[in-house]
Amino acid sequence: MSRELPKPLLEKNKPQQARAIETYERILRAAAELLEERGVDSISTNNIAERAAITVPALYRYFPNKYAVLYTLGARLMDKQNQVLVAWSNRYFAPDDANALIDNLRELLQETLEVTLNGPAGLALLRALRALPVMQDVLLESHYAMSQWATENWAQPLKLDTDPDNLRRMRLILQMGTSAIELALEDPDMPIDFALNEATDMLQMYWRKILL
């Protein structure tokens, strides 16, 4: 099955020149601001262009529609979260000791939450990732890629079978972590520390089932 992005949602023309890059980034900043202020259903290419102080045709040189802009924002957030996972693995992965990863899962969740909060429209993007089919594609593609990465990098040293079920288990782990972070950020009745601590306990039990 092809995992290429749907062509209508790809950026039409990724910029190379400094002025074009600056315009491109202004579009993304404007979209993030509007997403945070108004929510995904209340923004359009017209008001993104207005906020970015460019014309609508200028926006269309880079993005064919608002969903392509949102897709790019979502992909950037997923990339940042994935970088957290890789850096965390580099710190704690020990070929002879699966517990080194398991014991430090709380740190992974905390750092993922922080990179989400520190990015533009982090919580609004998490909501959009759940609400829009195109944004769900971002999440699924990211989790699929990182599940493959984790399974391939941890499989042999940890004697983790690379069968399809273990890839699915890794995807579940990533989805459970994302859901816990979203709940911690979105629900005022769910203290962040409580959510992350409980999610850590659940994920540790599941990881021990897989890795030990």
| pLDDT tens, position by position, 24-71 | 999 999 999 999 999 888 999 999 999 999 999 999 999 999 999 999
Taking alpha carbons only, the member of 35, 186, 43, 50 closest to residue 120 is 35
Buried b (16+ CB within 10 A) or exposed e, 94-116: eeeebeebbebbbebbbbbbebb
Fold for domain 11-60? Arc Repressor Mutant, subunit A (1.10.10)
Instruction: State the first-to-last Cα distance of the chain, in angstroms, to the nearest integer.
Output: 32
Cβ-proximal residues to 132 (8 Å cutoff; 6+ apart), any chain = 40, 67, 70
Quick check: 98 and 211 in contact, CB under 8 A?
A: yes
| pLDDT tens, position by position, 146-164 | 888 888 787 765 556 667 7
Class of the domain covering 67-211: mainly alpha
| pLDDT tens, position by position, 103-160 | 999 999 999 999 999 988 988 998 888 888 888 888 888 888 888 888 878 776 555 6
Q: Show the beta-strand stretches assigned E in the chain.
A: none
Instruction: Look at residue 56 in the predicted model and tell me its pLDDT.
Output: 96
**DSSP reduced 3-state for 157:** coil
Instruction: Look at residue 3 in the predicted model and tell me its pLDDT.
Output: 41
Instruction: Look at residue 57 in the predicted model and tell me its pLDDT.
Output: 96
Instruction: Look at residue 35 in the predicted model and tell me its pLDDT.
Output: 94
Cα 53 to chain centroid distance, Å, stands at 28
Q: Domain extents for the chain? A: 11-60, 67-211
Least confident of 24-38, 168-182, 193-207: 168-182
